[in-house]
Chains A and B, each alone.
Chain A
Amino acid sequence: MSNKVLIKDAVKKYGNFTALNGVSLDIAEGEFFTLLGPSGCGKTTLLRMIAGFNSIEGGEFYFGDKLINKVPAHKRDIGMVFQNYAIFPHLTVEDNVAYGLKARKVPKADIDRRVKDSLELVQIAHLAKRKPNELSGGQQQRVALARAFVIEPSVLLMDEPLSNLDAKLRVQMRSVIKKLQRRLGITTIYVTHDQEEALAISDRIAVMKDGHIMQVGTPNEIYAKPQNPFVAGFIGVSNFLDCEIDSAGITSIKDELKIKVPLRRAYSGKAKLSARPEQLFFSREGMPGEILFSTFLGDFIEYEVKLNDGQELIINEYTKDTTEVHADGEKVHISFDPNRISLYTADTEEVLSC
């Protein structure tokens, strides 16, 4: 049955290289949890440790209350969907799906019923007798899905399952996976490097970098309140500005804009500000700049603005809020809502904004 997953201080080493450095996660029962990060961040390594394909150099892995560190892969009761699907080429679609049930010695009649049900669930019941080489990429993906969840695993693992599909199919399969997971309520751990995919599909996301977890949160939290500049830059687009906070708590940027940003603790000194393109706007006052280039994109207009010191910012203005299109070369002033941007200390990159 479905389980919560608890990981305490996971460590993975390849020789001298530390791939994972004390990663801890607490994944709730039935949750759709995503490991997101650039290649080499350790997300697949972690997934394969959970699956039992990678040895565990340190830390504790629990499914429910059960410590699984020493449990071999085939006894962990997991389902896994691989990047290249890993459909058995010598078996038909239904035999592929029945494989895990047979390994579990489920009675024959039950196998037939469950295989049929799960193929119907992913809408490929009519392909049951086919061999994998007669299937398209999307159909193979559905076989891989059916095969993984038909055994009702305690945890479902997915390793970049959509990356081999074309863009349109990717969006379509994304919602198939999400709806299926909701319906079956299986705890799911999903690995991807595609931030848009992660935002669209997940209940919660862990953003990883260099074997560390940078932030764990809901898609909205991650996007709106990035806890460090890496997350701010990796998820979506962010403008970064150097600034200084004085003892009175006033943030001043390039001596051109002074604004009071609510802080979670007292701090004075050098800081770093990050703002999404839609969090910046044109106003009477603020940082002076000049519009370099504008791109009209229908629902919004994207401006590239050059500040006096040469730094360039990206600012989006939504067409529902304004009818005016600024011309290239126009002088503008830029400001922002202090409650919506993020501030970090310059040296340790600790988050300061609330």
Chain B
Amino acid sequence: MAAKTKQSASLDRKKLMADPIMVTTIVVLITLLTLFILYPLAILLVDSFVGDGSFSLSVFQRIFQISSFKRAITNTLKVGFVVGILSSLIGLLFAYVEVYVRMPKFTGGLFKVVSMLPVVSPPFVLSLSMIMLFGKAGIITRFLLHIYDNSVYGYWGIVIVQTLTFFPVCYMMLKGLLKNIDPSLEEAARDMGAGRLKVFTSVTLPLMLPGLGNAFLVTFIESIADFANPMIIGGSYDTLATTIYLQITGAYDKPGAAAMAVVLLCITLLMFAVQKYYLEAKTAATLTGKASRARMMIEDKSVRVPLTVLCTLVAVFVIMMYICVPIGACFPTWGYKFFPLTGKWFTQVFTRYKGFKAFKDSFMLSLIAAPITALLSMIISYLVVKRNFKGKGFIEAVSMLAMAVPGTVLGVGYIRGFSGGLFHTGILQGLYGTGAILIIVFIVRSLPTGTRSGISALRQIDKSIEESAYDMGADSFKVFMTVTLPLIKDSFLSGLVTAFVRSITAISAIILLVTPSYLLITVQINEFAEKGAYSLACAFATILILITYGAVLLMNLFMKYFGTSRKMKED
């Protein structure tokens, strides 16, 4: 057995070496991943542990004496924990209603849309509308309820906004798991005498527990990595991401920021490791089965009515938040004069605030980054799923690692790693401050999601299909372009659009690296929101929302007419 594996390994190696394109690709990939993901993180460690040429903990000693930093750690963990729990619960509610409960078509569709809305929306949007609806001068708090001293800034503001932003992620994860529960398990429980509630607590919930833990940790990581929302609605309630940003832009303390970034990175990496290696395996172990037959949807009023009321409340809230943004962009003078609605802010975006340049820059950079990201993630997933070679583990681990790295940490890493050239030697220094480095950050930030969906798409393709192409004389490049890629066209396309949307809405890493020669929409929104120019921020945000939804719509249309997968699945 051992001899056989050894033999097949050496055979794999020989096959690989006979394929120069493959070898080149692998070498280039490893170089890129090392340079743009590992190196910036490594330099953070080096910077924070090495002072004056020797190993020391002095930087850490210094930052742990800053009380605002210690407070930021507690704040971040507290927010992350609560947001994780609330998002998982709301996600579970929406997923359960969709998979288990018979709903009128309209209501069901509405809930589905509401739970998907935040997925493609830019950051800040919810923070902006939260301030405009419930803040001191909020439309609801001040002008409807006549409360004059309501503050949304701080802990609760962040918690509410982040929960609404991240619960869709939980919803999608949990929906997939709930669909995989075999309905006959619940039927078995029922005919042995368990009522609906008992079935839920004794069968459905225990089966979902690892999945819920998984959803919790994923949102926890998202929450502590989030920069945009705490920035706008946090007020004086600082989280790690905002503290690091301020340490650089306010205190000009780059080594200190690097050390803080290391602390943040350690927290997310730990969570990520637990999620990836412990919970994901557990989820897979309890839910291996496929549903054997369609589920009988619950029609009991005692279940439907309360769940519908709960979902409707959340839905109304979410919809209100989203409607607030375009309307907020039309108020003549925010907080003072609301009518008649005007289009002047949209005009001013372009006439006074260089809107054209902002949209052009954001659009161009994202448009360049998206196809590169999509192609890279397909190549990586192809190598990981279909090929065997030394360094495969490295490629997979590093591209997944990027998922656990908060944008702010990456931003600081790039500042430390590239502003003075590689290892502060001046090599590659020209990269810093260019559009290229922004594009690279866009790519690195979107690579993990693309790679993950690529891997799952490729796992469904039988190896023998490609092997038969090799047999007929195609080399690996030709096989990838003519066989593999067409088969995962849909996945590639959605990877492309996801990368575009993620790039054009990115802020956390970018805000640390952008130079005045580039104007980015998200940075503009942040600036105007900071200044309190909410109508302008809303105008920018509205156009950004239109762009992202337009991109998603375009993708869906394109897939409908040119997609192959659907037809193949039906066969």
The reply to whether A90 and B289 form a contact with Cβ atoms under 8 Å apart is: no
In whole angstroms, how far apart are the Cα atoms of A89 and B191 in the complex?
A: 18
The answer to whether the Cβ of B207 comes within 8 Å of any Cβ in the partner chain is yes
Instruction: Tell yes or no: B189 within 8 A of A by CB.
Output: yes
- Pair B184/A73 contact, Cβ less than 8 Å: no
> What is the total number of residues of chain B having a CB less than 8 Å from a CB of chain A?
25
Residue of B nearest to A150 (CB): B192
Do B192 and A147 touch across chains, with their CB atoms under 8 A apart?
yes
Q: How large is the interface on A (under 10, 10 to 19, 20 to 34, 35 or more residues)?
A: 20 to 34
Q: Which residues of A contact B288 (CB under 8 A)?
A: 89, 133
- B-contact 0/1 string along A72-95, CB 8 Å cutoff: 111111111011101011100000
Give how many A-B residue pairs fall within 8 Å (CB-CB).
77
> Is A11's CB within 8 Å of the partner chain B?
no
Which of A97-105, A116-124, A274-282, A317-325 touches B? Answer: A97-105
CA distance A77 to B289 in the complex (A): 27
Question: Does A51 touch B at the CB level, under 8 Å?
Answer: yes
Query: Within 8 Å of chain A (Cβ to Cβ): is B182?
Result: yes
- Using A86-B185, A90-B207 as known contacts, say yes or no to A80 and B285 having CB atoms under 8 A apart: no
Q: With a CB–CB cut-off of 8 A, which chain A residues contact B285?
A: 89, 133
Q: Which B170-207 residues have a C-beta within 8 angstroms of A?
A: 182, 184-185, 187-195, 198-199, 202-203, 206-207
Give the residue name and chain of the B residue nearest to A97 (CB).
B192
Contact between chains at B185 and A74 (CB < 8 Å) = no
In the bound complex, residues from chain A placing their C-beta under 8 Å from that of B292 are 82-84
Cα-based distance from A78 to B192 in the complex (angstroms): 7
Q: What is the minimal beta-carbon distance from B496 to any residue of chain A, in angstroms?
A: 38
Name the B residues within 8 Å of A86 (CB-CB). Answer: 182, 184-185, 187-188
A75–B198 Cα gap in the complex (Å)?
13
Rounded to whole Å, the gap between the CB of B215 and the closest CB of chain A is 18
Digit string of A110-145 for contact with B (CB within 8 Å is 1, else 0)? 000000000000000000000001000000000000
Question: Does A296 count as interface, using CB distance less than 8 angstroms?
Answer: no
B310 CB–A CB distance under 8 Å: no
CB A339 to nearest CB in B, in angstroms, measures 46
B206 touches A74 (CB 8 A): no
A54, A77, A79, A99 pick with most chain B CB within 10 angstroms: A99
Q: Identify which of A51, A72, A103 contacts B187 (C-beta below 8 A).
A: A51
Residue B434 is within 8 A (CB to CB) of chain A in the complex: no
Known pairs A84-B184, A88-B203, A90-B206; A76 contacts B191 (CB<8 A): yes
Q: Is B286 in the interface zone, CB < 8 Å from A?
A: yes
The answer to whether A51 touches B192, judged by C-beta atoms less than 8 angstroms apart, is no
Q: Known interface pairs A83-B292, A90-B207. Does A74 touch B190 (Cβ–Cβ under 8 Å)?
A: yes
Contacts of A72 in B (CB 8 A): 195
Query: What is the 8 Å Cβ interface bit string for chain B, positions 269-302, against chain A (1 contact, 0 not)?
Result: 0000000000000000111110010001000000
Assess the B191–A79 pair: CB atoms within 8 A.
yes
Are A103 and B192 in touch, CB under 8 angstroms?
Answer: yes
Query: Which residues 20-69 of A sit at the B interface, judged by CB distance below 8 A?
Result: 51-54
Contact (Cβ within 8 A) A99 B189: yes
Q: Is A351 an interface residue (CB 8 A)?
A: no
A87 to chain B, nearest CB (A): 8
Is the beta-carbon distance between B184 and A100 smaller than 8 angstroms? no
Would you give the shortest CB distance from B501 to chain A, in whole angstroms? Answer: 37
- The residue in B184, B192, B207 that gathers the most chain A C-beta atoms within 10 A of its C-beta is B192
A73 B190 Cβ-Cβ under 8 A: yes
Minimum CB–CB distance from A135 to chain B (whole Å) comes to: 14
- Which residues of chain A are near B289, meaning CB under 8 Å? 84, 89
Is A151's CB within 8 Å of the partner chain B?
Answer: yes
In the complex, which of the residues A54, A73, A104 contacts B191, with contact meaning CB atoms closer than 8 Å? A73
If A82-B184, A84-B289, A90-B286 touch, does A51 touch B206 (CB 8 Å cutoff)? no
Tell me the bound Cα distance from A51 to B182 in angstroms.
17
Contact of A99 among B182, B187, B202, B287 (CB under 8 A): B202
**CB 8 Å contact bits of A303-338 with B (1 = contact, 0 = none):** 000000000000000000000000000000000000
Chain B residues with CB under 8 A of A157: 191
User: In the complex, which residues of chain A have a beta carbon less than 8 angstroms from the beta carbon of B187?
Assistant: 51, 53, 73, 80, 82, 86
Let me know if A51 and B191 touch, CB within 8 A: yes
Given contacts A86-B182, A89-B207, is CB(A74)–CB(B195) below 8 Å?
Answer: yes
The answer for the CA separation of A147 and B185 in the assembled complex, in Å, is 12
Which of B189, B191, B202 touches A78 (beta carbons < 8 Å)?
B191
**Chain B residues whose CB sits within 8 angstroms of the CB of A151 once the complex forms:** 192-193
Choice from A74, A89, A90 contacting B194 with Cβ under 8 Å: A74
Chain B residues with CB under 8 Å of A88's CB are: 185, 188-189, 203
A contact residues around B194 at 8 Å (CB):
74, 99, 103
A103 touches B198 (CB 8 A): yes
Q: How far is the CA of A83 from the CA of B363 in the complex (A)?
A: 55
Q: Which residues of chain B come closer than 8 Å to A80, judged between CB atoms?
A: 187-188, 191
Give bound CA distance, A99 to B189, whole Å: 8
CB distance from A216 to the nearest CB of B (A): 25
**CA A78 – CA B190 in complex, angstroms?**
9
Inter-chain contact A84/B192, CB cutoff 8 Å: no
CA–CA, A151 to B194, complex, Å?
A: 12
C-alpha gap A196/B245 in the complex (Å):
75
Which B residues are CB-close (under 8 A) to A103? 189, 192-194, 198
Using Cβ atoms and an 8 Å threshold, which residues of chain B touch A78? 191
In the assembled complex, how far is the CB of residue A17 from the closest CB belonging to chain B, in whole angstroms?
15
Shortest beta-carbon distance, B282 to chain A, in Å? Answer: 10
Do the beta carbons of B188 and A82 come within 8 Å of each other? yes
- Contact, CB under 8 Å: B193 / A52: no
With both beta carbons as reference points, the residue of chain A lying nearest to B287 in the complex is identified as A89
Contact check: which of A54, A73, A77, A89 meets B286 at CB < 8 Å?
Answer: A89
When distances are taken between beta carbons in the complex, the residues of chain B under 8 Å from A76 are: 191
Compute how far the CA of A77 lies from the CA of B194 in the bound complex, rounded to whole angstroms.
10
A100 to B203, CA, bound (A): 12
Within 8 A of A (CB), among B185-237: 185, 187-195, 198-199, 202-203, 206-207
As a 0/1 sequence over residues 155 to 174 of chain B, the CB contacts with chain A under 8 angstroms (1 = contact) are 00000000000000000000
In B285-323, the 8 Å CB interface with A consists of 285-289, 292, 296
Which single residue of chain B is at the shortest CB-CB distance from A131?
A: B285
Beta-carbon contact of B193 and A100 below 8 Å:
yes
Structural contact, A52 and B192, CB atoms closer than 8 A: no
Q: Of B191, B286, B296, which is within 8 A of A74 by CB? A: B191
**Chain B residue contacts of A82, Cβ below 8 A:** 184, 187-188, 292
Bound CA–CA A72/B190 (angstroms): 9
Within the complex, the shortest CB–CB distance from A297 to chain B, in Å, comes to 37
A109 to chain B: closest CB distance in Å? 19
How far apart are A105's CB and chain B's nearest CB, in angstroms?
9
Q: Which residues of B contact A77 (CB under 8 A)?
A: 193
- Alpha-carbon separation in the docked complex, A145 to B475 (Å): 55
- Chain A residue nearest in CB terms to B296: A53
Q: How far is the CB of B253 from chain A (nearest CB, A)?
A: 50
Residues of B near A100 (CB, < 8 A) are 192-193
Q: Which residues of A contact B202 (CB under 8 A)?
A: 99
Flag if B192 contacts A79 (CB, 8 Å).
yes
Contact A54 B296 (CB under 8 A): yes
- The answer for the CA separation of A31 and B94 in the assembled complex, in Å, is 45
Q: Measured between C-beta atoms, what is the minimum distance from A76 to chain B in Å?
A: 7
Query: In the bound complex, how far is the Cα of B191 from the Cα of A76, in angstroms?
Result: 7
B226 shortest CB reach to chain A, Å: 33
With contacts A88-B185, A99-B192 known, what are 20 further pairs, Cβ within 8 A? A51-B191, A53-B187, A53-B190, A54-B296, A73-B187, A73-B191, A74-B191, A74-B192, A74-B195, A80-B187, A82-B184, A86-B184, A86-B185, A86-B187, A89-B288, A90-B206, A103-B198, A133-B285, A147-B188, A147-B192
Can you pick out 27 interface pairs between chain A and chain B where the beta carbons lie within 8 Å of each other?
A52-B190, A53-B187, A53-B190, A73-B187, A73-B191, A74-B190, A74-B195, A75-B193, A77-B193, A78-B191, A79-B191, A80-B187, A80-B191, A82-B184, A82-B187, A82-B292, A86-B182, A86-B185, A88-B185, A89-B207, A89-B287, A90-B207, A100-B192, A103-B198, A133-B288, A147-B188, A151-B192
Q: Which residues of B are interface residues toward A (Cβ below 8 A)?
A: 182, 184-185, 187-195, 198-199, 202-203, 206-207, 285-289, 292, 296
> What 4 A-B pairs have minimum CB-CB distances, sorted nearest first?
A100-B192, A103-B193, A86-B184, A86-B188
